[in-house]
A and B are shown apart, each in its own frame.
Chain A
Amino acid sequence: DVKVTQSSRYLVKRTGEKVFLECVQDMDHENMFWYRQDPGLGLRLIYFSYDVKMKEKGDIPEGYSVSREKKERFSLILESASTNQTSMYLCASSLPSPGWGPDTEAFFGQGTRLTVV
């Protein structure tokens, strides 16, 4: 069974702390994504990576950074956590499109609900 695993389901951190959210996938997928999900705002892309050591900014990268040293692991880093980063964080992975055609399905982790106090 394919799996995307996020290191924590629930996390509480203090304002100003450096926070690491880890995501591991066991499907040998090239693409990995970090989203945040907030009520009324839907899913918003923070960063994605299409290969080891490669990263691209999404719609809301400010206040975040990422690291992809190995293909299976994609880390999201909150450099200095703030209360407006309280959210549900979702990691996803997918294969690259095989050709000019439909996008491949994305597999999501269970999510990390982060509260910054």
Chain B
Amino acid sequence: DAKTTQPTSMDCAEGRAANLPCNHSTISGNEYVYWYRQIHSQGPQYIIHGLKNNETNEMASLIITEDRKSSTLILPHATLRDTAVYYCIVRALISSGSARQLTFGSGTQLTVLP
């Protein structure tokens, strides 16, 4: 799986959009971008994933650049409960029935300020 680079920490004001960048310049054509987050003292939580098109769900939006070398996770209206470590992961396609482990890097500590 390709390596990712994220800023160590970011702050965001409550109610504003939080934009979390991720660099994955060595991504290959069959690799997806995933985002998970981990609130302090809890297990990680899946947020979203995408291949090349922008994706949106009830939690967030994922914007992937046209060359796929970077992406941005957007939390449109950040709340205090969004304070967490956010992990960007790149994972290749897998065959049917396969199971693969998740490998988290250091992630970005997002702090939402009141």
| Residues B91 and A103 in contact, CB atoms below 8 Å apart | yes
Residues of chain A in range 20-74 having any CB-CB distance to chain B below 8 Å: 30-31, 33, 35, 42-43, 45, 48, 50, 56, 58-59
Contact A96 B101, CB 8 Å, known A42-B106, A90-B43, A103-B94:
no
Kindly list chain B residues whose C-beta atoms are within 8 Å of the C-beta of A100: 93-96
Fill in one digit per residue for B99-110: 1 if any A CB lies within 8 Å of its CB, else 0. 111111110000
In the assembled complex, the Cα of A98 lies from the Cα of B98 at a distance in Å of 9
B7 vs chain A, min Cβ distance (A): 17
Q: Which of B19-27, B44-52, B61-69, B70-78 lines the interface with chain A?
A: B44-52
Q: How many residues of B contact A (CB 8 A)?
A: 25
Distance between Cα atoms of A109 and B43 in the complex (Å):
6
Q: Is A117 part of the contact surface with B, judged by Cβ < 8 Å?
A: no
Q: How far is the CA of A93 from the CA of B44 in the complex (A)?
A: 12
The smallest C-beta distance from B16 to any residue of chain A, in angstroms, reads 27
Beta-carbon contacts under 8 Å, B7-30 to A: none
Cβ of B43 and Cβ of A94 under 8 Å apart? no
Chain B: CB-nearest residue to A90 = B43
The answer on a CB contact under 8 Å between B102 and A43 is yes
B42 near A111: Cβ-Cβ < 8 Å: yes
Residue of B44, B99, B101, B105 ringed by the most chain A CB atoms within 10 A? B99
Contacts A30-B99, A42-B105, A106-B102 known; 13 new A-B pairs at CB < 8 A? A31-B99, A42-B103, A48-B99, A92-B44, A96-B97, A97-B95, A100-B94, A102-B93, A102-B94, A103-B100, A105-B49, A109-B43, A113-B41
